[in-house]
Structure 1
Amino acid sequence: MKRLDALLSNLGYCSRSETKLFLKQNEVLIKNQRVFNPTSKANHCDVLVNNEALDSEKILILLNKPSGYICSHNDAGKLIYSLLPRRYQNRNPKISTIGRLDIDTTGAILLTDDGELNHKLTSPKKDVKKVYEVSLEKPLNGDEKELFASGKVLLNGEEKPLKPAILKEITPTLVHLEIVEGKYHQVKRMFAYTKNRVIKLHRLEFSGFRVDEMEEGAFKIIDDFNIKSYNL
């Protein structure tokens, strides 16, 4: 059991000092009994706020990132976290992105306050699948599919070749690229290696999670069932 002010503040509903006022302004129930004392103790599952269960103690969010947003807590400019409700922004521990997308890259990104899950999905050993839609400045040379699949591409500054990647040509200047690594600017550097330039980059999929039906800037909570079904 935890004190109510700790439960509510950790989940971002209010700060600990604001809990007393929050309890006056909102109907908070413990086992269906309304409470006004911030020091009351309760189990997470026994608390309702305005007739809704508390947010999960650990949260996983899928977001369709728009261009122009930064995957950081500290940089100047538009931060990706500003797309989330204030309550989520105030959680402790903080919600962080799982990996990053460049400011001009759009598409699927996961966010969580679960450090273990974040580590698991960013570990180079896990070979987490990522699929990108890539718009190119020039048409393909014709040998990129075999080159990327070979596992022999050595980018500048890297000590080891890239793991094999799968390229699917949509048009001569539009491709889908599946990779299992997350090196710095990897997709852009891969096409620079072939003397081409990426002019638009959109991540269609991250670890099985897709944003096909989601508007830019929209997000959804991934529930426990889906987490388990993706074997995370």
Structure 2
Amino acid sequence: MRLVKLLANLGYGSRKEVQTAIRHGWVTDKEGNRLKADSKTPHEDILFDDEPLDPAQGVVLLMHKPLGYTCSLKDQGRLVYDLLPDRFRMRKPVLSTIGRLDKETSGALLFTDDGTFLHRVISPKSEVPKVYEVTLDRPLKGDEGALFASGEMMLESEVKPLKPAELEVLDDTHARLILHEGRYHQVRRMFAAVGNHVNELQRSRIGGLGLDGLEEGGWRVLSEDDKALIFAGE
């Protein structure tokens, strides 16, 4: 791929803007040599304004989503994309979230520009487990775990029962819930169906991949080993 197209696809500007940057000498190799539009320098050896390039196409990011941010570019207010470099919004292919967390839910959120990877994670056939830490408004009654695990629970306005889910009771008002699907507001609707209300909700793990000390609002690029962890339970 020509250098101009590579940089434009990574969101560093339009092709015209990237050509200007190249003419001004802002694009170099690691030795400081100015690159030309037709340079064949490997991605990992290119610097833009003395900084390494953003990850190449096929990137997967993990973010610790804070409360108060939404996942769709169509939403109003604070977006999870505001926590990434501005140019990430201009990448081609587009950088998308893998699933969503609502405004009042925090925790593990994945992004990728790899459509095949995205569909593998969200495919019902994959059944990648998602782990949620739940704080409830009222004490648990004791029969929720059996119902959630039954494979027979129905949510209002739906015609297909939920897949079995595992509930670990931590104390009267705190629990850990493991889901193998991702329906709209599923955790909140499950507890509402048994007469309770979710006060706080965090997704702590996707497959075998956890937040592992990542600060709220922080993000990192996943390695191949990290990506494999997501599917470790398949």
After TM superposition, the score normalised by the length of structure 1 is 0.91
| Structure 2 CA distance for aligned equivalents of residues 41 and 60 of structure 1 | 27
Paired position in structure 2 for 1:196: 196
The residue number in structure 1 matching 2:40 is 42
Aligned to 2:183: 183
C-alpha distance in 1, partners of 2:217/2:97? 14
CA–CA separation in structure 1 for the residues paired with 2:122 and 2:210: 17
Residue type of the partner of 1:18? E
Structure 1 segments unaligned to the other structure (5+ residues)? none
Contact 2:207–2:229 (CA<8 Å) still a contact in 1?
Answer: no
1:167 paired residue number: 167
Per-residue displacement from partner, 1:2-50 (whole Å, max 9, x unpaired)?
1111001111223211113322252423998522x33x14264474113
Cα distance, 1:228 vs structure 2? 3.6
Question: Residues 208, 66 of structure 1: CA spacing in aligned structure 2 closer, same or farther, 3 A cutoff?
Answer: same
Q: State the superposition RMSD in angstroms.
A: 2.1
Counterpart Cα distance in 2 of 1:96 and 1:71: 9
2:15 pairs with 1:7 = no
Aligned partner of residue 146 in structure 1, secondary structure: helix
Gaps of 5+ in 2: none
Percent sequence identity over aligned pairs: 41
Partner deviation per Cα, 1:114-164 (whole Å, 9 max, x = no partner): 111111111112101100011111000111111111111111122221111
CA distance in 1, matches of 2:191, 2:78: 28
How many aligned positions are there?
229
What amino acid maps onto 1:97 in structure 2?
A: T
The normalised TM-score by structure 2 is 0.90
SS at match of 1:34: coil
Verify the 8 A CA contact 2:208 2:231 in the aligned structure 1.
no
Return the letter of the residue paired with 2:103.
I
Counterpart-to-counterpart distance in 2, 1:76 and 1:150: 38
